[in-house]
Structure 1
Amino acid sequence: MDLLFATRFKSARLRSGLSLQDVASRLGNKITRQALHRYEKGEVTPNSEMLGLLSEIMAVRPDYFFRNTRVELGALEYRKLQHLSARDENRIVEQTREYLSRYLELEEILGISGEFINPLKGLGPVATLSDVSAAADLLREKWGLGANAVVNIAGFLEDMHIKVVEIDVDTHFNGMQTWANEGLPVVAYNKNLQGKPDRIRFTLLHELGHLLLQFGDVKDKQKEVLCHQFAGALLMPESVLKEKLGPHRSKLSLHELGNLKRQYGISMQAIVMRAIECKIVSEHYGRQFFKMIEEMGWKSREPVAYEGIERSYRFDRLLFRALAEGQVSMSKAAALKNMKLAEFHEQYTAIA
């Protein structure tokens, strides 16, 4: 029995969001669902022609089915979990597992290893806004951020040994976090948020809160609130907010909120929420502001856009390093990138 192929075949199928019948249909019923089921049980391994067809359907390289880098995922926690179907959850899990398997194999080739140490370890449980604000300030101090705006949070988190995964799934999923192989922190976000980099930033830091914080005796709904507050405090520390807006205000200008959004990569709505939390404006003003936002249709797309880029380039950087040092061939580099050789070669030579 070829259990490695069986496991990888099922993973690729789930990653693509396909049932066995879907796969059979896309193959033009050249093979039955029952025969595909035998692949998945490890009873039969396809020939090279069928392997090529399966690779095309599932958008993976043929060598994907025989890669044995181990990726064990711990419990996954999602935002908006109640909207996820079993199929979408499987797609998220397997996309995460597949990307990490390539990533960890590349790091192994380069001899890179690094243990993640939680900078908030020993802080104690959080249960209030004051607790998470203090945790955010401590994290900025530990990571040497000072009070500055953080450019490209996805890239920064990877520099801090946290794997960032981009998930391609058309659903209400925003973000997810877990631990891989028992000690590797992982945060993920929906690729379809790319047009809204401020949303990606907030989502990643929200998930970071779930990873790093210990929670007191609070319910799941309150945990979500605390992680929201943690993300807001990381993006816009209280000292910075009071310096920019002043300690007390009766109202705020959309222009100044827009300027802060452009500089700090935090939505105008999140800035106002922070201003309420820091008692710069009243809750009454906040209710009026959010009502106006809803009436203007700005809740999902605000009138001012943050133009920053949220994406980690570490994987590609390591891949080109391995290629330049002769530690991988062009073919192997293409496999690690999950691209066809001709496609990868065209991209590589275009950069060169």
Structure 2
Amino acid sequence: MNTIFAERFKSARLLSGLSLQDVVDKLNNKITRQAIYRYEKGEVIPDSEMIAEFSKIFNVRPDFFFNPMTVEIGKVEYRKLKIPAKEETRIQEQTKDYLSRYLEIEEILGIKNNFVNPLEDYPAVSGYANVNHAANSLRKEWKLGNNAMPNIAELLEDKHIKVLKIKADGNFDGLQTYANGNIPVIAYNETQMDNKKDRLRFTLLHELGHLLLDFNESLTHKQIETLCHQFAGAMLLPEAAIKQELGEHRKQLSMNELGNIKKQYGISMQAIVMRANVCKIVNNNYTRQFFKMMDDNNWRVDEPFEYHGHEESGRFDQLIYRAVVEELISMSKAAALKNMTLAAFKANTKMI
């Protein structure tokens, strides 16, 4: 029990992004840094009063400290690299905590993780032609045709890829890894993307490229990132679809037609123009002019036109409610899996 508490106590502290001294300060020096250090080493367990205090500081339920962590995550690859070590640790702890609760409800319901990489036998990628072909192969395997994909987060969950929302600072877009050796995971920064659905869709598919594709060893990190960008663009807007929308060759494009394609396919106007460029619909000179115009109008971050599609998976919540209705777990256990108080969970739950 001491070992479990020690691991979970440290995890809760890291989740909250607090140092040992931060905890001391929040408790108004009721305890020392040495005492907290002893908790994290498993030398002693605090009394129930102190556990309640820690629960408030770390924003977790008291039973969090006594539920063993069942998740080990592999090497983590980030969409953006400049993340402080403290923030990186907090992101990874959030990922492990969310996954441990997710996998627990699946175990309760007897759901197995049957992920198979549909591109496992695909040759090592070295250029655009490879990723374009891989995207077409994946769309064919998943029976997507050339149509717009309405909800990518839900699609990935249906394919046994866990999609997690993480709260992080502005330097983090997304990450991908494998949990327990065989469970693919993509996490994204909800702080950055909840109001930018086209950006979220691109990030999810960029990370999918990292998960599914094997890259030639001679490629640099920057080259691999570019290829994952191109994979995401090819998944969102296949070559056949963009040529149907824009034609084979164009000297220039109108903002309105780009906006309409954005609203239909859920892909940013900038990504559309990059797709048009790699598909040889527009030339490099036009592409440079377009991005200069975007810079001049301060549209690189906040583009004109909005994509308003739904972009979220409710699978985790659905599994919890299913377990409650089938009386496999109590309401209290459901609240714990949601990391909510029982009162808050009941207030947000409508039962027939």
TM-score under structure 2 normalisation?
A: 0.98
Q: Provide the secondary structure at the position in 1 that maps to 2:348.
A: helix
1:21 aligns with 2:12: no
Offset at residue 69 of structure 1 (A): 4.2
* Conserved 8 A contact 1:84-1:171: no
Offset at residue 80 of structure 1 (A): 1.5
* Conserved 8 A contact 1:38-1:44: yes
Among the aligned pairs, what percent are the same residue? 59
1:125-164 Cα distance to aligned partner (Å, 9 max, x none):
0111000000000000111111111111111101110011
Partner of 2:99 in structure 1? 100
Tell me how far apart the structure 2 counterparts of residues 252 and 171 of structure 1 sit (CA, whole Å). 32
Partner of 1:196 in structure 2? 196
Partner of 2:289 in structure 1? 288
Partner of 2:68 in structure 1? 68
Tell me how far apart the structure 2 counterparts of residues 222 and 210 of structure 1 sit (CA, whole Å). 12
Aligned residue pair count: 350
1:319 aligns with 2:320: yes
* Conserved 8 A contact 2:258-2:272: yes
1:277 aligns with 2:278: yes
Partner of 2:221 in structure 1? 220
Partner of 2:309 in structure 1? 308
Q: Provide the secondary structure at the position in 1 that maps to 2:105.
A: helix
Tell me how far apart the structure 2 counterparts of residues 77 and 276 of structure 1 sit (CA, whole Å). 28
Partner of 2:11 in structure 1? 11
Cα 1:294–1:285 change in 2 (3 A) is: same
* Conserved 8 A contact 2:69-2:97: no
Tell me how far apart the structure 2 counterparts of residues 303 and 185 of structure 1 sit (CA, whole Å). 34
RMSD: 1.0
Partner of 2:300 in structure 1? 299
Partner of 2:53 in structure 1? 53
Matched AA of 1:210: H
Partner of 1:259 in structure 2? 260
Offset at residue 181 of structure 1 (A): 0.1
Partner of 1:165 in structure 2? 164
Tell me how far apart the structure 1 counterparts of residues 122 and 148 of structure 2 sit (CA, whole Å). 24
Offset at residue 173 of structure 1 (A): 0.6
Q: Provide the secondary structure at the position in 2 that maps to 1:312.
A: coil
Offset at residue 114 of structure 1 (A): 2.4
Tell me how far apart the structure 2 counterparts of residues 24 and 150 of structure 1 sit (CA, whole Å). 49
Offset at residue 107 of structure 1 (A): 0.4
* Conserved 8 A contact 2:113-2:183: no
Partner of 1:137 in structure 2? 136
1:316-343 Cα distance to aligned partner (Å, 9 max, x none):
0101100110001010000000000000
Tell me how far apart the structure 1 counterparts of residues 150 and 59 of structure 2 sit (CA, whole Å). 32
Q: Provide the secondary structure at the position in 1 that maps to 2:147.
A: coil
Q: Provide the secondary structure at the position in 1 that maps to 2:267.
A: coil
Matched AA of 1:53: E
Tell me how far apart the structure 1 counterparts of residues 36 and 306 of structure 2 sit (CA, whole Å). 47
- Divergent runs of 4+, >6 A: none
Matched AA of 2:18: L
1:96-147 Cα distance to aligned partner (Å, 9 max, x none):
0000000000001101002211000111101110000000000001111111
* Conserved 8 A contact 1:177-1:210: yes
Partner of 1:34 in structure 2? 34
Cα 1:69–1:33 change in 2 (3 A) is: closer
* Conserved 8 A contact 1:69-1:104: no
Matched AA of 1:131: N
Tell me how far apart the structure 2 counterparts of residues 303 and 110 of structure 1 sit (CA, whole Å). 45
* Conserved 8 A contact 1:69-1:105: no
Partner of 1:146 in structure 2? 145
Offset at residue 26 of structure 1 (A): 1.1
Partner of 1:180 in structure 2? 179
Offset at residue 171 of structure 1 (A): 2.9
Partner of 1:343 in structure 2? 344
Q: Provide the secondary structure at the position in 2 that maps to 1:151.
A: coil
5+ unaligned residues in a row in structure 2: which ranges?
Answer: none
Partner of 1:328 in structure 2? 329
Tell me how far apart the structure 2 counterparts of residues 348 and 264 of structure 1 sit (CA, whole Å). 33
5+ unaligned residues in a row in structure 1: which ranges?
Answer: none
1:208 aligns with 2:208: yes
* Conserved 8 A contact 1:162-1:184: yes
Tell me how far apart the structure 1 counterparts of residues 151 and 142 of structure 2 sit (CA, whole Å). 15
Offset at residue 65 of structure 1 (A): 1.1
Matched AA of 1:316: D
Matched AA of 2:160: H
Q: Provide the secondary structure at the position in 2 that maps to 1:348.
A: coil
* Conserved 8 A contact 2:8-2:69: no
Matched AA of 1:318: L
Matched AA of 1:323: V
